[in-house]
Structure 1
Amino acid sequence: MPGRVEHIGSEEFSLAAKIATALSYVFSPLFVPVIGVSLVCVYYGASAGEVVRILISASICFIVAPTAMLFWLKKTGRIATFEIRERQDRRLPLLIGLAIACASVIVIVAVAGTTQKAVGIYLLGVAGTTGIALLISSMTKMSIHVAAFSALAATVVYMYKNPTISSGALFEFGAGSAVIALLVLVAVVWSRYYCRAHSPGELLIGAGVGAVPAWGVMIVIHFCYQLLLQ
């Protein structure tokens, strides 16, 4: 019956919308630098203790501090929602995020051990990418979610394509890790598009802003690491 079909369609749409919204929150851009810097530590042979120290300090710098900032911005009326969909509302959060990213280089490198140089270069890359996002956001809208998870996917794929040259790595990055990273990226792209948060063009800009610098940063880290071994 026509009425029944329409009702089912409405339920399906509602379920898909809920899933898309949930994905946008579960896969928050705030998590990416924490995961990324931890993976870099593992890739370059950090001990379990060092990885834990990096994970904790990065979580404070990239999750706790930015979350507190977002709550403050929301409470003071500087942003309308936590998603910050309006381009003009993104400048201040990104500017503060850039300051946090720069400060994190000092804080996290201080607690790092054998992977200090790799961690430092990676975090400088995070700060640089944040700066690029700030610049682009002043001119046009882009997806921060897609930029973040494109960067993470590029990092993991690079690690898979270039097996670690450290004998002390806790684990190797195989094809499975690359597939998971790419599937997460696909889920994020779908969720942002389905929620009508971004157009295809804005998603594409975000992908480029995230993936290209991340791949370049990994090349620089790998090059520096090889120089140290010579």
Structure 2
Amino acid sequence: MNRILKSISYIFHPLLMPLLGVVFYFSKTPRFIPEPLMKAKLFSVTILTVILPILLFYLLKTINKVQSIHLESVHERRIPLIINSFIILLILIRVLPIDEITELYFFFIGILISTITCFVLAIVKFKASIHMIASAGFFMFAVALAIHFKININGTIALMCIILGAIATSRLHLKAHSPIELLVGFFVGLLPQLILLNYWM
């Protein structure tokens, strides 16, 4: 059981959630999007949200700024969160500008707000769960897309709820977070996506 719960933290790592949101959008949107454009966006988002952060993590680990990919202490979260904020800004400016794919633009605006909020919490020495922030943001975006495009994804939503519960259980079992840190993380991830619905739905 310990191995299963530990693996959940890796399988649903926060680095993967932005890419998952983009994949989910392209798989559900009824709009025609040329395949070369889709592939270009997916490639760019993969490089910037997965590959680049991993490379930067190993750089930070080499210079003893971080110890674990889960950023277990409040102090070691600050630099990665600042770097991630700049990466998200780069995506918003160069990869997903507002006039191309509006839904994804506001999805990443929500991610940026959540990241900055998490950084502010780290400054005041509160360790909100980044796992819950990322997964809750993706969950809210997926639900919003289902309503926006009028598609039935009840099975997917039910599965996402189970996954959210599994992630929270995993983080508690590993003693990575307290219940309040998980709850705060959930709302830090969900609320920006919910508020931004006013701008694209």
Normalised by the length of structure 1, the TM-score is 0.79
What pairs up with 1:182-221 in 2 under 5 angstroms?
182-221=161-200
Task: Return the index of the structure with the highest Cα Rg.
Answer: 1
Q: CA deviation at 1:98?
A: 0.6
Q: Is the 8 A contact 2:111 2:137 kept in 1?
A: no
Aligned match for 2:160, one of 175, 181, 204:
181
Aligned match for 2:57, one of 70, 85, 94:
70
State the distance in 2 between where 1:109 and 1:101 align.
10
2:7 counterpart of 1:22: yes
Aligned match for 1:59, one of 28, 46, 58:
46
Q: Is the 8 A contact 1:57 1:108 kept in 2?
A: yes
Task: Name the structure 2 match of 1:148.
Answer: 134
State the distance in 1 between where 2:148 and 2:110 align.
21
Counterpart amino acid of residue 157 in structure 2: A
State the distance in 2 between where 1:156 and 1:201 align.
25
Change (3 A) 1:35 1:208: same
1:151-196 deviations in Å (ceiling 9; x for gaps): 1111122233x1416xxxxxx3521121122121111111111110
Q: CA deviation at 1:43?
A: 3.2
Q: CA deviation at 1:217?
A: 2.4
State the distance in 2 between where 1:57 and 1:71 align.
20
Change (3 A) 1:44 1:105: farther
Counterpart amino acid of residue 154 in structure 1: M
State the distance in 1 between where 2:167 and 2:16 align.
13
Q: CA deviation at 1:137?
A: 1.8
Task: Name the structure 1 match of 2:90.
Answer: 103
Q: CA deviation at 1:104?
A: 1.3
State the distance in 1 between where 2:154 and 2:73 align.
37
Q: CA deviation at 1:208?
A: 0.7
Change (3 A) 1:62 1:82: same
State the distance in 1 between where 2:84 and 2:152 align.
29
Q: Is the 8 A contact 2:111 2:189 kept in 1?
A: no
Change (3 A) 1:96 1:163: closer
2:99 counterpart of 1:120: no
Aligned-residue RMSD, C-alpha = 2.0
State the distance in 2 between where 1:125 and 1:40 align.
15
Task: Name the structure 2 match of 1:169.
Answer: none
Q: CA deviation at 1:97?
A: 0.7
2:112 counterpart of 1:133: no
Q: CA deviation at 1:118?
A: 2.7
Q: CA deviation at 1:149?
A: 0.3
Identity of aligned residues (%): 23
Q: Is the 8 A contact 1:74 1:82 kept in 2?
A: no
What is the SS of the residue equivalent to 2:68?
A: coil
Normalised by the length of structure 2, the TM-score is 0.89
